[in-house]
Structure formats: C-alpha cells, structure tokens
Amino acid sequence: MLRLACDARVMSNRQRRPFPLGAAAPGFARYPREERGLQESTIHKYRRQLHEFASYLSKAGATSFAELSPAPLASFIVDRAPGMAPCTRRDLCGQLRIFLRFCHREGITDRDLSGAVGMSQVYRLADLPRSITWDEVRRIMDVVVRGARNFIDNQLHHCQRKSGIPQCGI
C-alpha cells in the first residue's frame, strides 16, 4: 500500500450518493447552497438527515411524496428522537421543516407540512437543577466559608511578609 501511495497517484474511486429525495424534490440539492448560502458541512448534515428520512419513508411504504401527511412526519421524529441529543433533535426538525417548505414552494406538495414538524426548544442552562436540598446548601456553604478563610489567611500572611511584622504579631 505504501509503495502504491509513493509511486502512483492515489485517487478516490468512491462515488458520491445522489442527494436524497432528489427525484421527489428536484432542485433541493442546489437550494441550501445557492439560495440559503449554507456551507458544505451543513449541507452534508442535510444530506445525512434527508437520507434517513427517505429510507424511513420507503420502509413506511410511502408511494408518492405529494400524498405525504403529518402522521408519517411525526412518527419519523418520534422514532428517531430517543437516540439523539437535544441539539441534534432540534437540527433534524429544522432541516425537515426547511425541506418541507421548499416542497410546498415548488408545488411538490399541496399544503405546507412544515407545521407538522414541531421544533423542540433547547435551553442553554437546562442541565442545571431547579432546586437543591438543604444538605447540598450546607456543603456548598462549607466550601465557600473554608475558601474565604483560606483567602483571608493567605492575605494576612502576604501582608506580614511584605511589612516585616512577625507572625505572632497579628
């Protein structure tokens, strides 16, 4: 393998999969890049999520994209949500909503189904507990008091050394 890499040009022969749902929604492959100005990494995420959505629709037996209803959209998100982090779940819903709005705008679907995909809220401080027990309050206060005592002791020691006051003088 090393000889091949050193002597000859190594090229990737892997074919890129076509954009998911490209036949059902022509033009969406260019939409994120050209109209929304998204970067390739973001488009790659769209591609991955839409590929999973397309495989879910084929497993569910959806024959026509124009006949899509809110029920399979909700079941797709419910099936995928348990294994996802809250931010990933929010991104999935957003990407699916953008795709469904595009389909409605282009006349692929009769109605705008993006409202059927609920957006989950992700709060920055959601991991913090809403309350703590009295034992936890005592432990925190012990740490604070101990830290304050150490800080005061250190400051006094520093002042003693700077001023030349003997240690027993304070």
Q: What is the pLDDT of residue 10?
A: 55
Whether residue 144 sits in one domain with residue 112:
no
Are 79 and 159 found together in one domain? no
Whether 111 is in a domain gets the answer yes
Are residues 155 and 108 part of one domain?
A: no
101 and 149 assigned to the same domain: no
Decide if 103 contacts 109 (C-beta within 8 A).
yes
Say whether both 112 and 140 belong to one domain: no
Low-confidence ranges of the chain (pLDDT < 70): 1-17, 120, 122, 164-170
d(CA 45, CA 24): 19
Per the domain annotation, does 85 fall within a domain?
yes
On whether residue 128 sits in a domain, the answer given is: no
Kindly state whether residues 32 and 104 are assigned to the same domain.
yes
| Whether 74 and 100 share a structural domain | yes
Together in a domain, 25 and 65: yes
The CATH number of whichever domain residue 32 belongs to comes to 1.10.150
How many domains in the chain?
Answer: 2
pLDDT at residue number 168: 61
Structural domain boundaries enclosing 143:
134-169
DSSP of the chain, one letter per residue? Answer: -HHHHHHS-----PPPPPPTTTTTSTTTTTHHHHTS---HHHHHHHHHHHHHHHHHHHHHT---GGG--HHHHHHHHHHHGGGS-HHHHHHHHHHHHHHHHHHHHTTSSSS-GGGGSPPPP--TTTTS-S---HHHHHHHHHHHHHHHHHHHHHHHHHHHHHHT--GGG-
**Quick check: is 127 in a domain?**
no
Note whether residue 54 is domain-resident.
Answer: yes
Q: Is residue 10 part of a domain?
A: no
